[in-house]
């Protein structure tokens, strides 16, 4: 059965002193939000009695106005309030003085929660009554002064008491996906307002998220299906941060079906239909299969006859699965960077890993010099690091939320969602052509040459490399075409994944023995070598049409040949070089100077040794 939302009521109550009458109580599912209307009698301040206004939260706003308790925190000074008053049109008059109500109102919601503030404005007693009426303006619907008697005004306003789901990966009917698993607060929700300003949900002293901010985040993200062949850029995948400032994007569990260009090369991509499912593989009244379907057609007309649940979310470890059915996973929003502290963690700075001496190191959390892996925009990419250290540093990022080096199955899940109607709808992403090896940048065109000329927010040049939040070009390097997607999946550096051909080559032991040791675990997705090993033969042996083959990994399904390590027969004419012999390890995406050969479907083999053009990415499975 489908797991429904687990609703819970927010702790706390409105003070009896402030409640004169409860008029109605409404519950509706989106947030879920309950609201009540309460009338208050409020004694307005005179000019000589204006004091700093205090507030604690929306449900105790009135108490805060008349209380001076030690647990109430001032948010505005008298001078700040006066400045706000002079910028408002919501005025009223008492004894020749003009006052106003100031509401902390969130735009875009039918139900709003004002925090009422009063302050004096300048003396308008010499103005005519008409002038005073003009100054008063029209009251906002949520500010209803009913009557003024002896300096008192009765106000009617609406307060909210929120009940929200537990963000634990359970299914949400209102969203049509599994909810992001916030791992009991380890993942901190983040979103962006209409002006592009970042909004991070805050925590109170009790460690709980602010329920109103959490509601705003919940209402903001959406896995929205684009219509027709349009790259609408309206899908907003859920984002979160960890305490170190790293960014993460939620990839919810889904089933997929490729209906064009299956196992074929193309100058564009193919069509990938996506259906989101719960951990029982159910959506609506349909249960989707774990077994790969039959395939119809030949050459460029092959199609999958039915859907299959993507193996990255399942329990078949040989196909890149996990040890339990995952509702989804968190993927690092940007390629990883190395952050170093030389004063025991008091301050941190990004290290430009220009050499193996700087890059091929392990993270450390003790002593004076500390090193950690982070995922941040506009930061130097961690490169010149071996497969061995990539694996260990990813694994040790945070064991409480099952951090690990991204597997090829997880790469496949991200790019399938990206190419679907819930992402870019078969539109090619811009590549990261930043020659300074920085995260989150975008080229002007998908095949633009590399450059070190960085373009900031608002720049509309036709050359250069554009920062991640530049709405002209920067956001087009993300998997959603807006700031909510995953970046650096094409260009920047090639990204090593926790996958290799298990061929016993000496490079496996010297550059990534830890992957071979863990090849039968949920942290590694190995491939088998062909009887007669070569790039072409290993590629054929990896396909969905053989017993030991793989699927969902954006290899065999999204290309039709791998004759060499620099072949370009994947979708969007990306590189299609399968690992073999000495190049036993797998890397994805392509580097900043790979131009048209780089892309989300590109794959190549490499030795696993530290390389100036190879980085990595972390995944979390809490």
Burial class (CB in 10 A: 0-12, 13-18, 19+), 347: exposed
What stretches of 361-469 adopt beta strand conformation (E)? 370-374, 403-405, 442-443, 454-455, 465-466
Which tens digits make up the pLDDT trace of 92-119?
333 343 444 434 332 222 222 232 333 3
Instruction: Tell me what pLDDT residue 96 has.
Output: 40
- What's the rounded Cα separation, in Å, for the pair 415 and 555? 11
Instruction: Tell me what pLDDT residue 362 has.
Output: 97
Which tens digits make up the pLDDT trace of 544-601?
989 889 999 999 999 999 999 999 999 999 999 999 999 999 999 999 999 999 999 9
Instruction: Tell me what pLDDT residue 533 has.
Output: 96
Burial class (CB in 10 A: 0-12, 13-18, 19+), 396: middle
- What's the rounded Cα separation, in Å, for the pair 132 and 129? 5
Query: What are residue 63's phi and psi, to 5 degrees?
Result: -55, -40
Instruction: Tell me what pLDDT residue 210 has.
Output: 87
Instruction: Tell me what pLDDT residue 201 has.
Output: 96
Query: What are residue 184's phi and psi, to 5 degrees?
Result: 55, 40
Instruction: Tell me what pLDDT residue 123 has.
Output: 39
Instruction: Tell me what pLDDT residue 161 has.
Output: 52
Instruction: Tell me what pLDDT residue 8 has.
Output: 26
Burial class (CB in 10 A: 0-12, 13-18, 19+), 205: exposed
The answer to whether 431 and 421 have CB atoms below 8 angstroms apart is: no
The answer to whether 188 and 244 have CB atoms below 8 angstroms apart is: no
Ranges of residues in the chain whose predicted pLDDT is under 70 = 1-162
Bridge partner list, 603: 576, 588
| pTM summary value | 0.78
The answer to whether 190 and 179 have CB atoms below 8 angstroms apart is: no
Q: Where are the alpha helices (DSSP H) in 289-397?
A: 356-359, 387-395
- Cis preceding-peptide flag for 329 (omega within 30 of 0): no
Bridge partner list, 466: 442, 455
């Amino acid at each position: 059965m489908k797991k429904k939302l687990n609703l819970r009521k927010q702790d706390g109550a409105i003070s009896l002193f402030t409640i004169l009458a409860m008029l109605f109580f409404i519950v509706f599912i989106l947030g879920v939000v309950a609201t009540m209307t309460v009338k208050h009698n409020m004694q307005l301040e005179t000019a000589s009695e204006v004091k700093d206004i205090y507030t604690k939260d929306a449900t105790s706003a009135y108490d805060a106005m008349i209380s001076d308790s030690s647990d109430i925190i001032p948010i505005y000074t008298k001078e700040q309030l006066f400045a706000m008053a002079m910028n408002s049109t919501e005025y009223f008059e008492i004894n020749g003085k003009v006052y106003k109500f100031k509401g902390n109102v969130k735009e875009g919601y039918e139900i709003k929660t004002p925090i009422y503030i009063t302050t004096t404005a300048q003396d308008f007693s010499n103005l005519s009554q008409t002038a005073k009426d003009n100054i008063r303006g029209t009251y906002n619907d949520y500010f209803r002064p009913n009557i003024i008697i002896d300096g008192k005004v009765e106000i009617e306003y609406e307060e909210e008491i929120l009940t929200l789901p537990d963000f634990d990966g359970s299914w949400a009917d209102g969203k049509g996906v599994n909810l992001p698993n916030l791992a009991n607060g380890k993942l901190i929700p983040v979103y962006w307002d209409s002006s592009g300003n970042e909004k991070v949900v805050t925590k109170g002293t009790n460690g709980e998220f602010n329920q109103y901010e959490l509601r705003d985040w919940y209402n903001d993200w959406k896995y929205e299906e684009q219509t027709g062949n349009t790259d609408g850029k309206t899908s907003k995948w859920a984002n979160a941060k960890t305490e170190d400032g790293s960014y993460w994007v939620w990839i919810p569990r889904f089933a997929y079906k490729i209906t064009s260009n299956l196992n074929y090369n193309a100058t564009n991509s193919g069509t990938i239909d996506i259906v989101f499912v719960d951990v029982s593989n159910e959506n609506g009244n349909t249960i989707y299969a774990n077994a790969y379907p039959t395939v119809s057609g030949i050459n460029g007309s092959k199609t999958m006859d039915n859907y299959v649940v993507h193996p990255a979310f399942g329990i078949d470890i040989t196909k890149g699965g996990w040890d339990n059915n995952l509702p989804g996973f968190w993927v690092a929003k940007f390629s990883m960077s190395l952050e170093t502290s030389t004063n025991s963690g008091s301050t941190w700075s990004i290290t430009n890993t220009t050499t193996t001496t700087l890059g091929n190191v392990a993270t450390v959390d003790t002593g004076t010099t500390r090193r950690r892996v982070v995922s941040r925009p506009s930061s130097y990419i961690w490169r010149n690091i071996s497969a061995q250290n990539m694996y260990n540093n990813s694994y040790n990022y945070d064991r409480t939320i099952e951090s690990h080096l991204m597997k090829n199955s997880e790469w496949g899940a991200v790019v399938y969602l990206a190419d679907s109607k819930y992402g870019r709808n078969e539109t090619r992403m811009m590549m990261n052509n930043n020659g300074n090896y920085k995260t989150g940048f975008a080229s002007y065109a998908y095949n633009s040459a590399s450059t070190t000329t960085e373009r900031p927010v608002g720049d509309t040049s036709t050359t250069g490399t554009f920062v991640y939040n530049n709405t002209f070009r920067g956001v087009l390097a993300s998997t959603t075409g807006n700031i909510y997607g995953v970046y650096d999946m094409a260009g920047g550096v090639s990204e090593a994944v926790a996958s290799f051909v298990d061929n016993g080559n000496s490079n496996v032991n010297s550059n990534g023995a830890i992957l071979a040791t863990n090849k039968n675990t949920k942290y590694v997705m190995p491939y088998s070598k062909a009887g007669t090993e070569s790039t072409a033969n290993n590629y054929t042996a990896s396909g969905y049409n053989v017993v030991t083959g793989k699927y969902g990994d954006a290899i065999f399904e999204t290309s039709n040949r791998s004759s060499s390590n620099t072949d370009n027969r994947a979708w969007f004419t990306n590189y299609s070089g399968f690992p073999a012999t000495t190049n036993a390890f797998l890397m994805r995406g392509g580097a900043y100077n790979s131009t048209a050969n780089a892309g989300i479907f590109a794959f190549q083999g490499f030795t696993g040794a530290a390389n100036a053009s190879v980085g990595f990415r972390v995944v979390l499975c809490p």
